[in-house]
Structure 1
Amino acid sequence: MIVSGSASQALAASLARELEEPLAPVDSERFPDGELLASIPELESSKRAIVVASTVSSDAHVELLQLQDALGEAGVDEIVTVLPYMGYGRQDRQFDAGQPISARAVARAISTGTDRVVTVNPHETGVCDFFEPTASAVDAAGQLAEPLPADLADPVFLSPDAGAVGLAETVRDAYGTGETDYFEKTRHSGTEVEITPSDVDVAGRDVVVTDDIIATGSTMSEAIAVLGDRDVGRVFVTCIHPLLVRNAYTKLARAGVEAVYGTDTIERQASAVSVAPVLADHL
């Protein structure tokens, strides 16, 4: 049985088809005081239930906890929690004195209602250690090659920094040809990051920028704009988690990006490919 959080309905449906398991009905309502109530009507006893819920907001976190609790009350033998996108996952350490480790706090809460956790490309795999039992991370980067044009010209796959070049290599390998390189990243604070392109020759070549998550698009668009000064060919942006808040699309388009492709870990206009097949292999 697949149980969907409200932010992951398309992915949950795709996963249900991949696993050939039923998709449970889920109701959600809000009381006058603002409190949420997520429920699973017509819930039948099951050996295993898989909750698919990207925690893209505080409400999504509460909804997930309620769905887990409902399944526990129904006597489900095994509850598996799939976090396609783990909210608060980037707050994995203290950046300043007095701050919480928010990723640990939410992991502890989620752990109380599940037997197993699976997440997709967390920003730092170390967040899996905050869960009890420990979560497993699934790599869906190879899926990002699927929506790319088949006629990329001598492509260069760029990652946001040297530490993430493996992401660019995975997309390049799935695509089948190309060179990899990375942007130089300088972090000035917990929220301020400067990204500048490396010295790779991009003249007349198509560039695919790969990242695990794009939020506001500010630093990436600034870096991509410099590629235009180097006579770059077409520029495409791919990411696992297309958060793309506020005017991120506009920033990237103004920088010269032809298209943005993401997965359905966060369901957005850019969600051009599903991680359901990769998740199914791990479930």
Structure 2
Amino acid sequence: MTTSAVVVAMPGNEPLADELAARLGLERGVATVRRFPDEESYVRIESPVSGRGTLIVCTLDRPDDKLVPLFLLAAALREAGAQSVGLVAPYLAYMRQDRRFQPGETISAHHVGAWISRSADWLVTVDPHLHRITDLSQVFSIPSRAVHAAGSVAEWIGAHVHDPLLIGPDEESAQWVGAVAEHAHAPFVVLRKTRRGDRDVEVSLPDVERWRSHTPVLVDDIVSTAHTMIETVGHLRQAGLAAPVCVAVHAVFARAAFEDLRAAGAGEIVSCDTIRHPSNRISLAPAIAASVRTLLPARGHQTRPMQSGSSNP
């Protein structure tokens, strides 16, 4: 690993960029990213990067406003002579659009993955939504690492929740919630979900009578509209359980989702810091830094890192 690599932050990503630079002994670079009055993007690299490894920190929630300036920033780094350009995107957008559901649709995950692969030499992300796509290498042609938040989430639960019962809101969450439960040495159950539309979700609750003395902890990787969690909170409260702690890895919280979840009777709402939000309590910077360390080029060498994989701290 070289200590001369440069970390550049897209707007709003400065705290993570600062922490990665400090943990890895890297230089914090300066870049200007702004909009012209006509809403086109302007970027400028203000730090010397010629012959040096670089990495851009840019989480990709609300991605459509970020992708064009991100690609221009990667291009500016290359034009300034950067040895390599990596991307740290704690939240990776478009991964849920992984199949053609209706005739005429495009599979957005593949296209966005191809665009990123043309702009960056490597990628680090956190718990991407892999369902029908089972590995990042099916989407990205560059080396990539998926950092898993389960250990960090379990550590927070163990330190802050008494007698937790982990609850997955749907079948898709089973594997992930099971991993958190294993790390936390706690029991877990998984609910069954029937989705009739984007905002019409019914959740069935298994018998949790024997867990009545435990604190329910709802865990999900992405909370966007929060409707699944809200429905689940309602079932748990109707069953006489305590107000559940709600934990999200990626706190998308579209529109008024956060306020709606609180109003539904949730207890504490906690998230990892992959997307900046007032609910952030769980830092993933140490785990992200560990994965970045494996991908930074050695000083003076153009070798490409190993192909895709996962990192589970």
Pairwise same-fold verdict (TM > 0.5): yes
SS of equivalent residue, structure 2 residue 267: strand
Structure 1 pair 44–38 and aligned structure 2 pair: CA distance change class (3 A): same
Letter of the aligned partner of 1:80 in structure 2?
Answer: G
**Structure 2 partner of 1:181:** 189
1:215-230 residue pairs with structure 2 within 5 A? Answer: 215-230=224-239
1:260 aligns to 2:265 (yes or no): no
Aligned-partner Cα distance in 2 for 1:103–1:277 = 27
Contact 1:51 1:82 in 2 (8 A): yes
Aligned-partner Cα distance in 2 for 1:66–1:17 = 26
**Structure 1 partner of 2:300:** none
1:15-164 residue pairs with structure 2 within 5 A? Answer: 15-56=20-61, 57-124=63-130, 126=133, 128=136, 129-133=138-142, 135-148=144-157, 150=159, 152-164=161-173
SS of equivalent residue, structure 1 residue 252: helix
Please list every run of 5 or more consecutive structure 1 residues that lacks an aligned counterpart in the other structure. none
Contact 1:39 1:66 in 2 (8 A): no
Structure 1 pair 222–78 and aligned structure 2 pair: CA distance change class (3 A): same
Contact 2:237 2:243 in 1 (8 A): no
Which string of whole-angstrom CA distances, capped at 9 and with x for unpartnered residues, describes residues 77-129 of structure 1? Answer: 12211211112221111121111111111111111111112221111162622
Aligned-partner Cα distance in 2 for 1:154–1:239 = 19
Please list every run of 5 or more consecutive structure 2 residues that lacks an aligned counterpart in the other structure. 1-5, 293-313
**Structure 2 partner of 1:210:** 219
Aligned-partner Cα distance in 1 for 2:215–2:228 = 20
**Percent of aligned positions that are identical:** 31
Structure 1 pair 150–132 and aligned structure 2 pair: CA distance change class (3 A): closer
TM-score calculated relative to the size of structure 1: 0.91
Contact 1:197 1:226 in 2 (8 A): yes
Count residues with an aligned counterpart: 282
Contact 2:98 2:109 in 1 (8 A): yes
Name the stretch that deviates more: 37-46 or 50-59. 37-46
Name the stretch that deviates more: 180-189 or 110-119. 180-189
Contact 1:144 1:261 in 2 (8 A): no
**Structure 1 partner of 2:205:** 197
Name the stretch that deviates more: 241-250 or 131-140. 131-140
Which string of whole-angstrom CA distances, capped at 9 and with x for unpartnered residues, describes residues 194-238 of structure 1? Answer: 333222334232011111110111221011111011121241111
Contact 1:203 1:230 in 2 (8 A): no
Give the number of the structure with larger relative contact order, counting CA–CA contacts within 8 Å between residues 6 or more apart: 2
SS of equivalent residue, structure 1 residue 112: helix
TM-score calculated relative to the size of structure 2: 0.83
1:4 aligns to 2:13 (yes or no): no
Name the stretch that deviates more: 99-108 or 139-148. 139-148
Structure 1 pair 15–195 and aligned structure 2 pair: CA distance change class (3 A): farther
1:212-251 residue pairs with structure 2 within 5 A? Answer: 212-251=221-260
Letter of the aligned partner of 2:182 in structure 1?
Answer: D
Aligned-partner Cα distance in 2 for 1:58–1:83 = 14
CA RMSD of aligned residues (A): 2.0
CA shift at 1:187, angstroms? 3.3
